[in-house]
Structure 1
Amino acid sequence: MTTTQPRGHRVVVVGAGYSGMLAAVRTAHRTRRLGTRITLVNPSPRFTERLRMHQVAAGQRLADHRIADLLAGTGVEFVQGRAVAIDPRARRVTVERTGGGGDAEPAGAPEDVTVVPYDTLVYALGSSADTTRVDGAADHAVTLDDPRTAHAAGTRLAALAAAGGRVTVSGGGLTGVEAATELAESHPGLRVTLLSRGVPGAMMGTRARAHLDRALARLGVTVRAGVEVTKVLPGTVELAGGERVPSDLTLWTAGVRVSGLAARAGIETDGRGLVVVDDRLRSVSHPEVYAVGDAAAVRQAWGQVHGTCQSGLPTAQHVADAIARTLRGRAVKRFRFGYFHQPVSLGRRDAVIQFTYADDTPRRAYLRGRWAVRYKAAVSASPLVTYRLSRRMNVTSVLSRGGRTTR
C-alpha cells in the first residue's frame, strides 16, 4: 500500500478535552506505521472530566488523570501551553508554554513561546460557560469550566451549608439540573435555588421530566422557571423586573461560548464562532484543518449537532480515521451521527436516562432510579476507558450512527 503523503506528516491537535484527547490517541494508533508525528497542545497537564465537574463543585474529590499518562505508549508529543495564534498560510500554531503542573487555566506569565508546525490541524478547543451576556456574571459567578474554581466553590459550600447559606444555580439545562441536585444532596444545609428561562429538563419526555421534577422537590431545590437573570451582584442575583434573589454563591451554567482563535486566524466560522465544516468535518475554507466536538458546526440530515460529549467523541473518531485514510490514499466517508440518550445524574443516588431519536427528541423509553445511576456512571467513565483501549485497538462507538435518520 502506498501513501499520498511523505513520512513524517505532522498532525497537531489543539485542545485536550474529550474530543481532542480521542483524536490524538486514535490518530496515533491508526497511523502508527506511517511515521506520522502527532502533537497535542493543552494548557493544563491534567485531563478535566467535564462530565463530573458538578461533583467537584459539591466538594467531592475525583481521580487525578494526567495527560502524559493517558498518552503513554502512543508516541504523541504533549506540549503544555495555550494556543494563542494559528497561521493557516504558514501552517503553524503559536503556543505560550505554561509550566508547573497547574490546572485548566494556569496563572502567571508564560515561560516561553513555541511555534508548532503542522500539515494537518485538528481544532478541538471546545466550549465554556458564557458569562459575557449578563452583567456581573464573569466577576461574581462560578462556572464549572475550571477544576480549580469548582474545587474552591466546593470548599466554600461546606461553610455555607453549616450557616444555612443560599446558593443559586443559573441555567435550567441538564448541567444546571445536575449541579443543583448534586449540591443539595451533598450539603443538606444549603438553600439551593435553580433559575431557568424555561422548564428545567425541557428537552426530555414527559415521564422522565416528571421524575426529574420529583428529584428536585425531594432534595429541597427551589425551582424558579420562566425567569431571566439580568445581573449578578455580590450576594444577589437580579431578575428582569428588578427582583433580587439572595445568593451567597452563584453557579453559572447558562449558555456556552467558544474560543475566537479560529475566527481570528481567518478560518471560516458561523455566527457563534464554530468552525464551519463539510460532511467530512474539514474546514470549508481550509481543508487541512479539521474541527471536532463543541468547536465544530456540524450539520446532519436531521439538523445541526449541538455540543455534548456524546457527539464529540464520534467526531474525534471520524477525524482520526479520516486522517489515516487520507494518508493511505483512500477515500474518506462522510460523517454520520445520531443522538441516543440524555443521561442526567440527580445526586449520587438517583438519575434519569431519556432515550432519544437521532435528532435528540425524546422517545417513550426512559430509565430511572438505581439502574439509571449505574447507567450514568458507566457513561461518565466511558471516555477514559475509550482512550486506554484506543491506544492499542480501534474502538468504534455503536451509538454514533443514528440509523436511517442520519442518511
Structure 2
Amino acid sequence: MVRPIRVTVVGLGYVGLPLAVALARHFETTGLDIDRQRVAELKAGHDRTGEIEHERLAASALRFASQPDQCEPCDFYIVTVPTPIDAVNRPDLRLVEAASRTVGALLPAAVATGLAPVVVYESTVYPGVTEDICAPLLEDASGLTCGTDFFVAYSPERINPGDREHTVERITKVVAGQNLEVLEQVAAVYEAVTSGGVFRASSIKAAEAAKVIENAQRDINIAFMNEIAQIFAKLDLSVWDVLAAARTKWNFLPFSPGLVGGHCIGIDPYYLAHRAEALGHDPRVILAGRGVNDGMAGWVADRLHGALDRKPGRVLVLGLTFKENVPDLRNSKVADVVARLASLGHAVTVHDPHADSGEAEHEYGLRLIPELPQDTFDLVFLAVPHREYLATGSGPLRALVAPGGILADLRGALGSDADWTL
C-alpha cells in the first residue's frame, strides 16, 4: 500500500488557507498558524478573510494546528506567511525567517522517519532569499544539511483577494526546485491541485524574480495612469473620458488610475528595488512608479479639499479596505486620504460594510460607524465601490449629501451621477 503524501501549510491567511483547503482534497494536509484565535475560528468553519465559504471549510479534510508539535512529519512544508515592508520601505523578512526556524525544528522528525522533506516557499521575496537566507536558517534550526537531508523549492503565490475566477485551483502555478528531482516532486503536488497547469521555472531565483516583476509591472502601469489623471485634472479633463476614447485602440492596455494599496502591488516593487540597490543598480523606473502611487492619496485628499473651496466640512468616506468586496485592510491608502483630510480640518466619518472595526482602529486609529448615518454631509466620498454601495444606484448615496454638498467617486463607479471624480 502506497503511503499518502503529507503536507503542512505554514500560515493560514489569504494565501495559505485556500491552498491548504485545495491540497486537503488530495493529500493529508495540516494547516499551521500561530494565531490561536484564527485556528479556533477555522475549526468552527469561519474564515474571516471571506476566501473560503463556511460549507466548503466545514466539509474539508484539512487539519488545523496552532502549535508546531501538533504537526506530523511531512513530505512537504509550504510556507505562506506575509512578507511586508518596514516603515522606510525596506523588506521585512522577520515572518518568513521565523517560519523557517519553525519548519527547521520540524525537519529532524521527518528525516528520522526516512523522509527527504521539501520546504516550499510561496511568500513573495526578492531573488535569492529562499536559497541564501531561508535555507541556512532551516539548516541552523534542524542541524541538517540542505541539498542532502532536505531540500528547498519555490512556487510564488498568485492569490487575488475576492477573485472567484483566478483561484488556486484554476491558475497556472510556477514551480522551481533545488534540483530536477525536487522540481518534479513539487510540480506533481501542484498539478494535483490546479487545472491551470504548472510552469517549471529554470531556477528558484527565476521563480522568485517572476513574482516580484508581475506586481512591479502592474504598479508601474497604474502609476502612469495616476500621473495622467493628475495632468488631465489641470486641463479640466476627465481621465475616464480620455480612457474611454483611448481604449478603442486594440493594443491599449486597460489600466485605470486609483489608490494602490494591499499586500502585493504596493509592496512587492520595494523588494525588487531593495535587491537592485544592493547590487549597485539604481531602480529609477520602479521607484518613480512607487513615488507616484504612494503620493496619490495625498493628491486625492487635496483635490477633495479644493472641491469644498478649501473649507473644512463634514466628510463621509465610504469604504476603507484596499479593494472592493473584501475585508482586507492591509496597506489601505484610503486611510491615508482620511488622515490627510483630517489634517486639513475636516470632520471625517468612515463606513465600510466589509472591514473589521477592531482591526481598523488598531491599524489606523479609525472608528468605523456600523451603519450608514441618517444625517447629511458636505462631502460623501465613495472611496471603495463595494457592492452594497452600488446595489440600489446612486440615490441612497445622494441622500447623504447636504444641500450644496458634493458626491465624489474615486473610481468612476457612479458614472455621471457623481459630482466629482478623478
**TM-score, normalization by structure 1:** 0.28
Larger RCO of the pair (alpha carbons < 8 Å, separation 6+): 1
Higher helix share: 2
Q: Which has the larger radius of gyration?
A: 2
**TM-score, normalization by structure 2:** 0.28
Higher strand share: 1
